[in-house]
Amino acid sequence: MRFCHFVAAAAALLSAPAFAEASDQPVPDPNDQSDTVTIGGGIGYVPDYEGSDDYQVIPAAFARGRVSGFRFFTRATYLYVDVVRQGSSKVDLDLGPIAGVRLNRRKNVDDPVVDRLPELDAAIEIGGFAGVTFHGLTNPYDALSFRLDVVKDVGSAHESTVITPTVDFGTPLSRKLYVGASFSMDWAGGGYADYYFSVSPTDALASGLPVYDADGGLKHWRVGLIANHSITGDLLHGLSIFGTGGYTRLTGDFKDSPIVSLRGSPNQWFAATGLAYTF
């Protein structure tokens, strides 16, 4: 799952007074750069494989934080580290490495036809991201980010490149409630398309699916939402409950692959919920 975390229309509903609701605690300084770490865990509901119409429940976990002005965060099975120190500016540059693993159609596929295809190796992907984040657009605590991710498989799986532009918007609605929204797209290289979505003559004999040669290009677009509500303390510390969900639409040769068009669906849904703790 990509707990990617997505929309400007919601911005009109988000205002500074909401965060400063009645409380005996002072409103936090939006320029505070103190160290903070949040870890969370729960369960996710995701497609069996990319393009499947069967779903499975899996463990879900995430981490994010800021140490000495440097941010880090996870998205699904990927770790991001921002090497540009964040300050009190209303505009921040975002730049750093990405490392992660892609687990797709490895084993235990529910679809009996797709399960006859060869088991695929995990892809070890390394790359980087660059972007910009704007603060204080609707209130002193919000953030609007534009980011471009580029990762490449450095192992022996798809041996290709995936490029992902993303727009994120997030803001607290009160001292205890945070909401966010995002929109992203994936461009995948020919090796990725061939590895995950093509059906070779040998695969066709084993599965009964028609032979198919997938080309790279725009793989999908995705929208998602996330919410985090404090149970103890507030958004700055303590225990909280989170929920996230979204929709992905496969496109092009990826949508037309027989494992999608005949055995699955181009419409992909995901959801996750669990508990988090902020130190």
Determine the Cα–Cα distance for residues 132 and 151; give it in Å rounded to an integer: 19
Q: What is the pLDDT of residue 28?
A: 53
Q: What is the pLDDT of residue 86?
A: 80
CA end-to-end span of the chain, whole Å? Answer: 25
pLDDT digits (tens, 9 = 90+) for 142-192: 999 999 999 999 999 999 999 999 999 999 999 999 999 999 999 999 999
34-278 belongs to which homologous superfamily?
A: monomeric porin ompg (2.40.160.40)
Q: Which SS3 state, helix, strand or coil, does residue 219 take?
A: strand
pLDDT digits (tens, 9 = 90+) for 3-25: 333 333 333 333 333 333 333 44
Determine the Cα–Cα distance for residues 211 and 205; give it in Å rounded to an integer: 9
Contacting residues for 219 by C-beta, under 8 A, at least 6 apart: 162, 186, 187, 188, 192, 193, 250, 251, 252, 254
Tokens (6 digits) for 86: 């964040």
Q: Which SS3 state, helix, strand or coil, does residue 162 take?
A: strand
